[in-house]
Copies of this chain bind each other. A is one copy, B any other.
């Protein structure tokens, strides 16, 4: 134990999150001092324009040179600038200067977390990043620490609040995708590049981070299979509802055992899926996040809360700041990189799921037999067939039993080639069934 009389904090980033962090550092100063064992002192805030005053931040602490602040040797450097290149350089410089780092930067972690871990190890400093996934929900610390004696088998969650807000509106108000996109845009819910939300890339970055922690193997965003929500229609929503399901954008990371299909490994995927209304994830509405975790000994768990917003994110960041600050005082060090399992990331074709397939079919005899054969030929077993309408408007809805995603995709390709199938109107994975 060193007899330190303060712990210094530098904050890189003066946006909503950075401002909220400074605000909480001030408002909770007395509590933080007691919980850490020494006062936290803010040494600087790097912002884009240091000439503009910020309420609650003394002008003298503002700088527009994040790199200089990163190198200043603060005990803990908080990175909430976002972006990749500058953030990486600043974090590496901070660690080289002996600072522990707390970051909320999911994009950087999912692209090149290994470089950050390596630098943290080299310089004997902490790297914490609770706020990078599911905002305020304590999720990474439980995965890294509370479940450290268990084996996680699957992580499945709603980790992008914007798309969950959009899907909730589509489900509950019957609004079409384009209208709800415009609404989310007007509300300022979308990222500057909306594709990060609606095409699933934001969720994919979080899925990579969760998968790496859960399965102790290196996973980057490039390993994640991604499908966004742009093709989900109000009709899909209505059809799902009628069958007792709701459509959610899920981030799923799971362990797959070795089998006739190939070696053991992990699969990480983000895509819309039909979830039974009885599943706890189905009840997660609006911009809330929730993550289901299935572990061998602990069984099923769910973590639910706010996935974004200045104050919730700042709460998660400050929890990490307290941990890093305590370690400074005690001489301890938090958990480092854990990728010992070396499990390979497998293609999504190895995942076992159920499919829902909506077909527009010709109304002639033998159609059902044709279609059933297409499923049988790929070894996919049918759970329910539901015929809708007659004549020109004949539609067929098929729910399969679980099969590999590869077999299901091959079945859909076969269906597309059948004369009796006019269009494959919709295909969706089904998750969360008992």
Contact = CB atoms under 8 A, between A and B. Distances in A.
Contacts of A321: 149
A84 interface: no
B147 A315 contact: yes
A125 to B, nearest CB: 13
A149 B332 contact: no
A327 B323 CA distance: 13
A83 interface: no
Given A142-B142, A316-B298, A150 B34 contact: no
A147 B137 CA distance: 9
Interface string A17-47: 0001000100010011011000000000000
Interface in A288-334: 295-306, 309, 311-312, 314-323, 326-327, 330-333
A283 B160 CA distance: 23
B146 A130 contact: yes
Contacts of A311: 296-299
Contact of A299 (B20, B148, B312): B312
Contacts of A332: 327, 330-333
B305 A302 contact: yes
A314 B297 contact: yes
A331 B309 CA distance: 36
Nearest to A40: B149
B145 A322 contact: yes
A335 B298 CA distance: 24
Contact of A315 (B31, B295, B331, B340): B295
A108 interface: no
A297 B149 contact: no
A327 B162 CA distance: 39
Interface string A272-286: 000000001001000
Contacts of A31: 151, 216, 341
Contact of A298 (B142, B295, B312, B320): B312
Contact of A304 (B146, B304, B335): B304
A331 B333 CA distance: 9
Given A298-B312, A299-B136, A332-B330, A147 B338 contact: no
A28 B297 CA distance: 11
A264 B145 CA distance: 35
A323 B306 CA distance: 27
Contact of A317 (B149, B280, B322): B149
Given A280-B283, A330-B332, A298 B305 contact: yes
A141 interface: yes
A343 B341 CA distance: 47
Nearest to A303: B303
Contact of A151 (B28, B312, B340): B28
A138 interface: yes
Interface string A404-422: 0000000000000000000
Q: List the 9 closest pairs (A to B, CB-CB), nearest first.
A: A332-B332, A149-B318, A138-B146, A138-B142, A301-B305, A136-B298, A148-B322, A298-B315, A297-B315
Interface of A: 20, 24, 28, 31-32, 34-35, 130, 136-138, 141-142, 145-151, 216, 280, 283, 295-306, 309, 311-312, 314-323, 326-327, 330-333, 335, 338, 340-341
Given A28-B149, A297-B314, 20 more contacts: A31-B151, A31-B341, A34-B216, A34-B338, A34-B340, A136-B297, A138-B146, A141-B145, A141-B146, A142-B142, A150-B319, A283-B283, A295-B315, A298-B311, A298-B316, A299-B305, A302-B303, A303-B303, A303-B304, A330-B331
29 contacts: A20-B297, A24-B149, A24-B150, A34-B340, A136-B301, A137-B301, A138-B141, A138-B142, A138-B146, A138-B147, A141-B142, A142-B142, A146-B319, A149-B314, A149-B321, A150-B315, A150-B319, A297-B311, A297-B315, A298-B311, A298-B312, A299-B305, A299-B309, A299-B312, A301-B305, A302-B304, A303-B304, A330-B332, A330-B333
